[in-house]
């Protein structure tokens, strides 16, 4: 690839276009969200005022605003930190060049490596990372606003006064705390996924991640960053399996509502096992900070898990098959005994007749 350096004083026109696109997307997204909120506000306000529950309406508005603000700030900070760390620790060296110049391909259409080189040197990275993190956080916060009542119930929860028979927990835990924990868990998984995408995009543009037909490689820095995020993902999954234990009480198989015999004696131990396996995977991912390889061997754990699940599925079926075989064996033995009696009965009668003649 050949570049031509032109005279000073000129700024690449596409830099201003990128800045305007980022600002425009943010303005449009904020406008659409505010438009939806304003529509709900204008519809609900007259109804609550007419029924005399204006204070309730104001409490709902405050709860929605606080939910949006907290989720937006937390998500934006997490995404911005991951994107900034990826940009800071990307190991592709920058080419030393004059301050005022313009990059131009020598001829023909630009290829993907040339475009990545151009983006790597010309994109205003602090603004791009902050804008991307803010836009994603805005979308996530808008989606979480509908859970304002879940958080209110969690904050103002009271004891129910009765415990469940399986875990001996107050019923209020299932009504107020568990729904909030599930919402927080889903938000954490989504935020970790988007953080990995944002950091991966930064590493890919800087050349730390290469994935094509000729070459597939990852730099040690990108592997370490991905290992940290993967460890947090497995830790959250372990917590998720712990929450699934309590969700067994909400089961409904059409016959029994609540935790069935299979749920307690089969699925519950499997959830404990999956939670422990997820924590082992989390510590293995964090230990990869020193090894820094993406070829982490999980074959044995996966094979053992598949064998365990296969045995769980096969167990009741094997028991029923064995029971049927035993029943068939008993029936065939009784049939065989009756046939022997039928064959020996004439001989017994003849012997008794001869004894009577004597």
In a domain, 321, yes or no: yes
In a domain, 142, yes or no: no
pTM: 0.69
What pLDDT band is residue 98 in, cutting at 50, 70 and 90?
A: very low
Residue 132's Cβ-count burial label (10 Å; 0-12, 13-18, 19+) is buried
CA 66 – CA 45 distance, rounded (Å):
19
Residue 104: HSE in the Cβ half-sphere, 13 Å Cα cutoff: 11
- Number of structural domains the chain divides into: 1
- DSSP label at residue 105: B
Nearest to 296 by CA among 237, 213, 201, 218: 218
Q: What is the pLDDT of residues 272-290, one digit of tens each?
A: 999 999 999 999 999 988 7
Instruction: Flag the least confident range among 24-33, 49-58, 61-70, 221-230.
Output: 24-33
Domain hosting residue 305, numbered range: 297-327
In a domain, 318, yes or no: yes
Span 313-330, mean pLDDT?
43
Question: Over the chain, what is the mean pLDDT?
Answer: 76
In a domain, 312, yes or no: yes
| CB-CB contact of 328 with 321 (8 Å) | no
In a domain, 305, yes or no: yes
What pLDDT band is residue 117 in, cutting at 50, 70 and 90?
A: low
pLDDT of residue 33: 74
In a domain, 301, yes or no: yes
Strands 209-211 and 216-218: antiparallel
Q: In this model, does residue 15 exceed pLDDT 90?
A: no
In a domain, 319, yes or no: yes
| CB-CB contact of 294 with 203 (8 Å) | no
């Amino acid at each position: 690839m050949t570049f031509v350096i032109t005279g000073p004083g000129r700024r690449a026109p596409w830099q201003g276009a990128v800045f305007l696109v980022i600002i425009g997307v943010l303005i449009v997204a904020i406008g659409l969200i505010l438009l939806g909120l304003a529509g709900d506000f204008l519809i609900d306000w007259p109804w609550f005022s007419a029924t005399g529950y204006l204070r309730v309406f104001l409490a709902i508005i405050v709860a929605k605003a606080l939910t949006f603000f907290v989720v937006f700030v937390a998500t934006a900070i997490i995404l911005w930190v991951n994107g900034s760390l990826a940009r800071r620790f990307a190991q592709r060296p920058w080419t030393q060049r004059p301050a005022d110049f313009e990059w131009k391909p020598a001829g023909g259409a630009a290829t993907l490596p040339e475009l990545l080189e151009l983006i790597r040197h010309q994109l205003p990275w602090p603004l791009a990372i902050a804008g991307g993190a803010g836009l994603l956080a805005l979308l996530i916060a808008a989606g979480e606003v509908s859970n304002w009542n879940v958080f209110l119930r969690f904050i103002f929860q009271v004891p129910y006064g009765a415990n469940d028979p399986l875990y001996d927990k107050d019923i209020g835990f299932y009504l107020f705390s568990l729904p909030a924990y599930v919402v927080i868990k889903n938000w954490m998984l989504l935020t970790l996924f988007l953080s990995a995408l944002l950091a991966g995009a930064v590493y890919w543009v800087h050349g730390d991640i290469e994935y094509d037909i000729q070459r597939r490689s990852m730099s040690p820095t990108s592997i370490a960053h991905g290992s940290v995020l993967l460890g947090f993902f497995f830790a959250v999954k372990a917590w998720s399996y712990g929450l699934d234990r309590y969700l067994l009480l909400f089961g409904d198989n059409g016959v029994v509502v609540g935790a069935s015999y299979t749920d307690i004696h089969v699925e519950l131990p499997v959830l404990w096992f999956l939670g422990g396996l997820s924590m082992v995977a989390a510590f293995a991912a964090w230990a990869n900070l020193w090894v820094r390889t993406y070829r982490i061997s999980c074959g044995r754990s996966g094979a053992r898990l598949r064998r365990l699940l296969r045995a769980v599925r096969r167990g009741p079926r094997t028991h029923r098959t064995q029971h049927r075989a035993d029943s068939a064996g008993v029936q065939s033995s009784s049939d065989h005994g009756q046939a022997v009696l039928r064959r020996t009965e004439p001989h017994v009668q003849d012997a008794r007749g001869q004894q009577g003649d004597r």
